[in-house]
């Protein structure tokens, strides 16, 4: 079998689309599985809408997902002359012809056809222009485009995912391959590029099926064997329409900004439209490579379910080492004006450990652990009423004294002291645990209490507890909240 060569061919739109990322992933999986090459090609034939910056963003997105490409990036705009070169060759086949119709004329005829309820297709007005007419137009410098003549018959191909797909040629219009400004139109550029680059398998979205018929005619005229095609089902939004800007977040990098882990994202999009065949949910890139095959790819479009992504991401977070999370978290804390590097790393690792099972996104961490870094500004109002009763404050005063005598201030020892006190007073653990948590964090929920105290250390724990006593305001008559 010929060495596999596949490509991802995004157009530089300013971001890497989720759908493009999934297409890239499947191309990547197929290439790696078959020891082939995965190539990046930027489709920037629409020069006006393309720029270097936009290209960089796409590359950054692929890099984040670790979908490394073997060749490229190549730019279609670098090959403008190549496309024109092929025109001469095609012209000799008689399969293409000049069309002098202006966009305005076309628009007019199209509108008329539609108003008469006729399906519009280019009417071949310029197909049978005499040689004299052509010469005359050329001499007058009339702009023209090149169109492909579609003969009678049927066009079909054996799709790797869908099987045979065909269409009657009467449904395909004589489409344009070269614009009046001599630049190639997408359908032409793709074929020439794929041919030149020796692409063996074109793996792309389902929305390209109708283009495939046209492209097949270019291959025919070129006298070149077309590559294999695999048309992936689309990723849909909750309304089951093609996922687009209108659907919400479609930029891959914005998922990075939210604190989705790239591994989670890859795992998640990989499973929209493909499954390993069993009921596994958590898969690494390596496992996907091993298991990938087109007959496991679905034909049906799949909805992008944010809730499931969220769940999967939380899985990946809890399964990540604290060290890894530490590195990833630095920028997220910086956004909240907390520089992790200023603190002892050991302490930060413990803090991460204490909440990582609760976090769904990396961006959750700063909020979840805020109190470790800052003094409490507001104590939970309901918590004050419930836990800062004079009776419970009394317990805290006792406990504060007791914990000061702990030599090795770790969660185990602290818990021991609390247990003893609970037994001694014959009260419930909750009677002292919740008030302590509120005093330390200002919140009624949070990490395991004794671990929290260990992280704070004796001095800070005592300080925070003592602070409560200084304000004699946590009784019913108070409206709550220290500011």
Partner RNA sequence: GUCUCCAUCGUCCAGUGGUUAGGACACAGCUCUUUCAAGGCUGCGACACGGGUUCAACUCCCGUUGGAGACGCCA
Q: Report if residue 55 touches RNA, rule: CB under 7 A.
A: no
Q: How far is the CB of 39 from RNA (least distance, A)?
A: 15
Whether the Cβ atoms of residue 4 and residue 31 lie closer than 8 Å to each other: yes
Identify whether 239 is a catalytic site residue. Answer: no
Q: Report if residue 381 touches RNA, rule: CB under 7 A.
A: no
Among the listed residues 448, 463, 473, 482, the single contact to RNA using CB under 7 A:
448
Q: Report if residue 446 touches RNA, rule: CB under 7 A.
A: yes
Q: How far is the CB of 312 from RNA (least distance, A)?
A: 7
**Nearest Cα to 480, choosing from 387, 352, 401?**
387
- CA dist 41 and 46 (Å) reads 14
Site for RNA in 209-238 (CB under 7 A): 209-211, 233-234, 236
Question: In the numeric block, which tokens belong to residue 55?
Answer: 């290209």
Please identify, using beta-carbon distances, which residue of 3 and 134 lies nearer to RNA. 134
Among the listed residues 277, 331, 394, 457, the single contact to RNA using CB under 7 A:
277
Q: Between 320 and 349, how does the x/- string for binding to RNA read (CB under 7 A)?
A: ------------------------------
Please identify, using beta-carbon distances, which residue of 200 and 436 lies nearer to RNA. 436
Q: How far is the CB of 436 from RNA (least distance, A)?
A: 9
Alpha helix (H) residue ranges in 116-261: 131-139, 186-196, 209-222, 252-258
Please identify, using beta-carbon distances, which residue of 49 and 245 lies nearer to RNA. 49
Q: Report if residue 124 touches RNA, rule: CB under 7 A.
A: no
Q: Report if residue 127 touches RNA, rule: CB under 7 A.
A: no
Q: Report if residue 274 touches RNA, rule: CB under 7 A.
A: yes
**Phi, psi of 401, rounded to the nearest 5 degrees:** -65, -45
Please identify, using beta-carbon distances, which residue of 49 and 324 lies nearer to RNA. 49
**Nearest Cα to 191, choosing from 221, 166, 165, 161?**
221
Q: Report if residue 85 touches RNA, rule: CB under 7 A.
A: no
Q: Report if residue 417 touches RNA, rule: CB under 7 A.
A: no
- CA dist 98 and 231 (Å) reads 32
Q: How far is the CB of 244 from RNA (least distance, A)?
A: 7
Q: Report if residue 407 touches RNA, rule: CB under 7 A.
A: no
Among the listed residues 308, 350, 402, 458, the single contact to RNA using CB under 7 A:
308
Q: How far is the CB of 119 from RNA (least distance, A)?
A: 5
What one-character DSSP code corresponds to residue 185? P
Please calculate the CA angle 25-80-129 and round it to the nearest 5 degrees. Answer: 115
Question: In the numeric block, which tokens belong to residue 473?
Answer: 């305001």
Among the listed residues 36, 301, 435, 442, the single contact to RNA using CB under 7 A:
301
Q: How far is the CB of 404 from RNA (least distance, A)?
A: 19
Please calculate the CA angle 106-107-109 and round it to the nearest 5 degrees. Answer: 65
Catalytic, out of 52, 142, 154, 245: 245
Own/partner long-range contacts of 320-329 (Cβ < 8 Å, ≥24 apart) = 320/261, 320/356, 322/349, 322/352, 322/353, 322/356, 323/349, 325/352, 325/356, 325/362, 325/365, 326/352, 328/259, 328/261, 328/362, 329/362, 329/365
Site for RNA in 149-208 (CB under 7 A): 162-168, 171, 173, 176, 179-181, 183, 185-187, 206-208
Please identify, using beta-carbon distances, which residue of 49 and 374 lies nearer to RNA. 49
Q: Give the strand order in the sheet containing 71-75.
A: 5-8, 37-42, 71-75
Q: Report if residue 61 touches RNA, rule: CB under 7 A.
A: no
Beta strand spans in 279-337 (E): 302-303
Q: How far is the CB of 342 from RNA (least distance, A)?
A: 26
Site for RNA in 351-380 (CB under 7 A): 357-358
Whether the Cβ atoms of residue 196 and residue 227 lie closer than 8 Å to each other: no
Label residue 464 left, alpha or beta by phi (over 0 means left) and psi (-120 to 50 means alpha): alpha
Residues annotated catalytic, as ranges:
245
């Amino acid at each position: 079998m010929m060495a596999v060569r596949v490509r991802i061919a995004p157009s530089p739109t300013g971001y890497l689309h989720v759908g493009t990322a999934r297409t890239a992933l499947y191309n990547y999986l197929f290439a790696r599985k078959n020891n082939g090459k995965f190539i990046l090609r930027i489709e920037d034939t629409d020069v006006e809408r393309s720029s270097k910056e936009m290209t960089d963003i796409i590359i950054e997105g692929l890099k984040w997902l670790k979908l490394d490409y073997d060749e490229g990036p190549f730019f279609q705009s670098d090959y403008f002359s190549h496309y024109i070169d092929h025109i001469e060759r095609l012209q000799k086949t008689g399969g293409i012809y000049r069309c002098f119709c202006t966009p305005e004329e076309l628009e007019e005829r199209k509108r008329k056809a539609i108003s008469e309820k006729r399906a519009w297709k280019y009417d071949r007005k310029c197909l049978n222009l005499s040689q004299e007419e052509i010469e005359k137009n050329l001499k007058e410098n009339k702009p023209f485009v090149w169109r492909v003549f579609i003969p009678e018959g049927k066009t079909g191909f054996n799709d790797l995912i869908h099987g045979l797909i065909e269409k009657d040629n009467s449904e395909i219009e004589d489409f344009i391959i070269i614009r009046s400004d001599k630049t190639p139109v997408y359908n032409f550029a793709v074929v020439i590029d794929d041919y030149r680059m020796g692409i063996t398998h074109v793996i792309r979205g389902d929305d390209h099926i109708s283009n495939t018929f046209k492209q097949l005619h270019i291959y025919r005229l070129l006298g070149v064997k077309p590559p294999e095609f695999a048309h992936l089902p689309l990723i849909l939004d909750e309304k089951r329409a093609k996922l687009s800007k209108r659907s919400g977040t479609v930029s891959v990098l914005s998922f990075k900004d939210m604190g989705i882990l790239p591994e989670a994202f890859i795992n998640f999009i990989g499973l929209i439209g493909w499954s390993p065949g069993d009921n596994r949910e958590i898969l690494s890139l390596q496992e996907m490579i091993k298991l990938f095959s087109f007959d496991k790819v679905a034909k049906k479009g799949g909805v992008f379910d944010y809730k499931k992504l969220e769940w999967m991401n939380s899985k990946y977070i809890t399964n990540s080492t604290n060290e890894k999370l530490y590195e990833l978290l630095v920028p997220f804390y910086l956004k909240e004006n907390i520089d992790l590097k200023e603190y002892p790393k050991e302490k930060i690792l413990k803090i991460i450990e204490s909440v990582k099972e609760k976090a769904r996104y990396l961006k959750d961490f700063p909020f979840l652990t805020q109190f470790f870094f800052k003094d409490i500004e507001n104590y939970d109002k309901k918590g004050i009423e419930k836990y800062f009763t004079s009776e419970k404050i009394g317990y805290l005063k006792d406990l504060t004294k007791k914990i000061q005598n702990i030599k090795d201030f770790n969660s185990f020892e602290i818990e021991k002291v609390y247990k003893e006190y609970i037994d001694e007073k014959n009260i419930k653990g909750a009677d002292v645990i919740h008030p302590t948590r509120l005093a330390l964090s200002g919140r009624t929920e949070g990490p395991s209490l004794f671990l929290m105290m260990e992280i704070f250390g004796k001095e800070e724990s005592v300080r925070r507890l003592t602070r409560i006593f200084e304000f004699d305001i946590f009784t019913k008559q108070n409206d709550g909240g220290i500011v």
